[in-house]
Amino acid sequence: MWDSPVMVLLMVAGTICAAMLVPAGILHLLPRLGRPGRAMSEAGCHAPLLDVWITWFIIAPLIAGPIFVGWWGLLGAVIGQVAAVLIWTAVHELSHREARRGPRIVKVINQKVGAVRNITAVWLTAIVVPLFWIVRMAQVFIYPLLTLLVGLPRYRHAEWVNVSRHKFSGLVGHDLIWCLYCDWMTGVWSLGSEMLRNVESFWCPIRFDSEKKCERCRQDFPDIDNGWVRADGTMAEVADLLDRMHDGHHGWFSHPTRLTVKCKPVDDGGDEQGA
């Protein structure tokens, strides 16, 4: 019986679903276990422990399923993950009936675009979660090598990669789980943008020939207007700029940590990454 693909699919989906719901229950329980539990809960809301939880809930099932039972395992893992989210959402909303009946994000958006379109669009965004995780792994394992090799600034990742929207009053169920996703995603994206600003100004401080591109990118890359050599400039200007700007500190030019003493921030601005 267990050789049937359908049974394998159900077995994997059930196992993955349980492997997600049980830790989720533990996370809900931790703050109720006194000061040690609250400390553990708070630590889990910030990198690096948050990275462990994200990997467990999002990536580990997608790896374990195919390893053990092939492509049916991958499909079963996805079904198990979706089922766990739906079950958790229902249970959380049932345990917060007053908030569920009150004003909610999902109600407003459903009225604006329709429930089917809204829910479909929300779940489509979930497809890119593994891509954000890959970006996060690059921040953890690749960027520090650039710091070691060429002196790009270090960062306290926990100040960027964290979640806190669960503390917002009245945010429950569907709204809560997706807002936590955006909470994590925004931090990963912002830290990645910060690191990419360093990369661009360190190796390629030349304005784009397209003024439209400069206009579109200057918000994310302020050095377009704060030091990069104009598009019709010369390589001599580029070499001179690099020689002047990368003297002891190798971050993007208008970065606050350019005010440094021996490559360390003058004040505790939180720009260096804790180990």
Do 53 and 147 lie in one domain? The reply is yes
Provide the whole-model pTM: 0.88
Asked if residue 219 has pLDDT above 80, the reply is yes
Domain count across the chain: 2
Do 118 and 48 lie in one domain? The reply is yes
Do 159 and 258 lie in one domain? The reply is no
State whether residue 28 is helix, strand or coil. Answer: helix
Do 9 and 34 lie in one domain? The reply is yes
Kindly report, residue by residue over 111-124, the tens digit of the pLDDT: 999 999 999 999 99
- Does the residue 199 lie in any domain? no
Q: pLDDT band for position 7 (50/70/90)?
A: confident
What is d(CA 181, CA 184) in angstroms, rounded to the nearest whole number?
Answer: 5
Q: Whole domain around residue 225: which residue ranges?
A: 204-263
CB 207: neighbour CB atoms within 10 A?
21
Contact 54, 133 (CB under 8 A): yes
Q: pLDDT band for position 251 (50/70/90)?
A: confident
Q: Which of 162, 192, 222 is the last residue of a domain?
A: 192
DSSP 8-state class, residue 254: T
Contact 249, 257 (CB under 8 A): yes
Kindly report, residue by residue over 21-74, the tens digit of the pLDDT: 999 999 999 999 999 999 999 999 999 999 999 999 999 999 999 998 888 899
Q: Which of 192, 221, 247 is the last residue of a domain?
A: 192
pLDDT of residue 249: 75
Bridge partners for 82 per DSSP: none
Do 41 and 145 lie in one domain? The reply is yes
pLDDT of residue 127: 94
Do 170 and 84 lie in one domain? The reply is yes
- Does the residue 95 lie in any domain? yes
Do 122 and 175 lie in one domain? The reply is yes
Do 185 and 102 lie in one domain? The reply is yes
- Does the residue 13 lie in any domain? yes
- Does the residue 274 lie in any domain? no
- Does the residue 272 lie in any domain? no
Q: Where do we find the tokens 């276990």?
A: 33
pLDDT of residue 5: 79
Kindly report, residue by residue over 134-156, the tens digit of the pLDDT: 999 999 999 999 999 999 999 99
pLDDT of residue 69: 86
Do 106 and 216 lie in one domain? The reply is no
Do 148 and 12 lie in one domain? The reply is yes
